[in-house]
Structure 1
């Protein structure tokens, strides 16, 4: 029952509810970043708000030593942003052994766990450099903006991304995602009086169908957003669609995108088509025998967790692959309904999640870890 929970878990629960109540839409994470920054400062840790909005803390070393800024660090992150806009009522709450609220598991409980880890490392500093970060722009067209900037600006020897729902998983590979935005523009006009004029909406429908047909069997394409026209009795002067392509192989992903782009660029006389890439999460894989993955597996065993399912996903790890940085994504608890207002996470498993995260950081930051 809740009354018997470890005090650290109670702390994570309280922090999760506090942070979930602070809106953090992708691209507008400043309010939540400010709270996280204050909490880190209250622990006596150095805090930096970088140029893209990430909250970054370079931890002191054992003995009070300050690590050089160019010393490669173990970087541990959780993302600030959620898929919910400021118009969504957040109203997080505790119901028995569950926490409920939009974004509570993706990724707010992970942020709370990161702060709990910060407290432990402030009290018992690591022997080698560790950087903790709360990142912006993980979701959707945020395109991993925070993680990409973080890993390009902080010398990194290994990267651990923390997610709320993935306690039973180790994400060791990245599913690549490439996003295209196609826009069609024409003169528009009255649906009868200007009949015969080229319609941006019609051009979009034809090009979109051609793009779907151009994708070879077995490859993934999703037309996620379509916007066109202003009213039923007007010829559309502008139309737009957003396409999401995914693949485990980044080269194949790019080749598919080339086929789709060519189809989307085709337009009838009187219509101007533009297609731009608006996002790219590179695919990749951390070698199965890498010391970081061995440390992640051993950390689970240390705290009595069974062997995790190891698979590929779309996480902040994707930002590490093109840089050749070994990476793994770990989870804090279990739950359901990600990206829905009914999202929830279970409270009791948080004890295992924070214990496994602590054990992983201790192992990976040890001087003889090989990570």
Structure 2
């Protein structure tokens, strides 16, 4: 027997004897991680999927497809820009009531919460999608169909997630599926951009509801499983001075000069710092200020984003930013010839915590087992989603897709295609039932 063939046969024997291994690919990384899928969870999902009520719900998801499409179009065409999600929240709450939730309410920050009582209510499991989109007020959100594909800003991220969560509620109601745990079906505000996860932060506020497991629905497909939170710090930094004529007031402090120095010092130091260790990123995304070419500006600002799944790395690059700002302030004030000193305002406008839920815990294992049961390859990843908050608090949490396929997220050409989208609802429901317990 030649050596390559011998090696291949040995590998086959080892694979058949070893536990089922699944490979997790980090977003933006080349490194893969071996994650063992415990056979217990595979068997649990297989048994759950055979239950008559579950099979009935699966048929209902198919029957609901035309209505689910109409729900998607209706919600997409209700603008939901950052901090202005109220109208969509009202519409979604009405849909949840009609679907048959035991109680539905809109909380103080405009989260929609629909409660479905469990048999014992000893646990509470959340299934959530976010109400907001990245698009500002005035954006044309009219849905356009080209063949089987729907085009509109926000149609996939995350309006499709909202309709998938709604369809799961409808399917469970019509199939008369009962859970042991209470289930909260949530449409959350503030997931995008400067919303800073404010909806989920409110859910986990001191004195808020006790939540035992958290399933966020964001993105498409049935393979992805986010179990690690990509933390971020976001700052708006504004240098302020008296401002004046470029000739007549020459010699006073110039905010643009300080801003330029701060950007240079920060990026130079951050570049060195982020070349080692866990992937950590930084970006100066917005700069603004000034009124005219012949006017010394009275203020100059920038918005900075830093990200890492390591709290230590995130704190480290943050420290470099603070040092660069103070150095720039000091140097700009040192070269003035007249007038008052420059001042700086450093405002934290985004703080998303990082963290990790181990892939061996039941929720992650169940999500992996469901993907495998539906003939999809589970892919574990890191991401910045609403699940960051419960992950950072040690609450079992994952983010999974809503089925179908799509693209162009955060662009005016965003699209979603119902390519076996019903599998998304089946997946969400199976993960939910495994976590919440299906009552006999």
**CA deviations over 1:331-371 (Å, ceiling 9, x no partner):** 01321111001001111231211111111111111169xxx
- What does residue 356 of structure 1 align with? 427
1:105 aligns with 2:160: no
Select which of 313, 328, 331 maps to 2:398: 328
- Displacement of 1:52 in angstroms is 1.3
Give the Cα separation in 2 of the matches to 1:10 and 1:265: 58
Deviation at 1:25, TM superposition (A): 0.6
Alignment: residue pair count: 357
Aligned to 2:369: 298
SS at match of 1:47: strand
Matched, 1:224 2:294: no
Alignment of 1:301-316 (within 5 A): 301-302=372-373, 304-316=374-386
1:108·1:164 contact (CA, 8 Å) conserved in 2?
no
Could you report, residue by residue, the CA deviation over 1:275-329 in whole angstroms, capped at 9, with x for unpaired residues? 1222111111111110001111222233x23222111111111111221101110
Cα pair 1:98 1:345 within 8 Å, conserved: yes
1:179 aligns to what SS in structure 2? strand
1:213 aligns with 2:213: no
In structure 1, how many angstroms separate the alpha carbons of the residues matched to 2:345 and 2:264? 16
Q: Which residue of 2 aligns with 1:23?
A: 79
**Aligned match for 1:119, one of 151, 155, 170:** 170
CA root-mean-square deviation: 1.7
The reply on whether 1:284 has 2:355 as its aligned counterpart is yes
Residue deviations 1:25-56, cap 9 Å, x none? 11110010000011111223211211111011
Structure 1 residue 166: deviation in Å? 4.7
Rounded to whole Å, the distance in 2 between the matches of 1:167 and 1:338 is 17
Aligned to 1:338: 409
Q: Which of 1 and 2 has greater Rg?
A: 2
Q: Which residue of 143, 146, 149 maps to 1:95?
A: 146
Match for residue 32 of structure 2? none
Name the TM-score, length of structure 2 as normaliser.
0.78
Q: 1:44 to 1:353 in 2, by over 3 A?
A: closer
Q: Distance in 1 between matches of 2:362 and 2:87?
A: 37
Q: TM-score, normalised by structure 1?
A: 0.92
Q: Which of these residues, 245, 259, 272, is aligned with residue 306 of structure 2? A: 245
Of residues 229-238 and 123-132 in structure 1, the stretch that sits farther from structure 2 once superposed is 123-132
Q: Hey, what does 2:130 align to over in structure 1?
A: 79
Mapped partners of 1:359, 1:322: distance in 2: 25
Residue 120 of structure 1, CA deviation: 2.2
Structure 1 portions without partners, runs of 5+: none
Partner Cα separation in structure 1 for residue 344 and residue 221 of structure 2: 41
Counterpart in 1 of 2:64? 8
Deviations 1:48-77 (A, max 9, x none): 211111011121235xx8x4xxx4311111
CA 1:166/1:280 → structure 2, altered by over 3 Å: closer, same or farther?
farther
Contact 1:17 1:93 in 2 (8 A): no
Partner Cα distance (1:297, 1:165) in 2: 16
User: 2-side partners of 1:38 and 1:265: how far apart?
Assistant: 51
Distance 1:305 1:34 in 2: 37
Question: 1:319 maps to which residue?
Answer: 389
Contact 2:96–2:166 (CA under 8 A) maintained in structure 1: yes
| C-alpha distance in structure 1 between counterparts of 2:112 and 2:305, whole Å | 29
Alignment of 1:168-207 (within 5 A): 168-207=223-262
Q: Which whole-Å CA distance do the structure 2 matches of 1:231 and 1:354 have between them?
A: 55
2:192 to 139, 146, 159: 139
Inter-partner Cα distance in structure 2 for 1:157 and 1:42: 27
Deviates more, 1:86-95 or 1:155-164: 86-95
Query: Aligned partners of 1:200 and 1:165: how far apart in 2?
Result: 44
Match of 1:254 among 315, 326, 334: 315
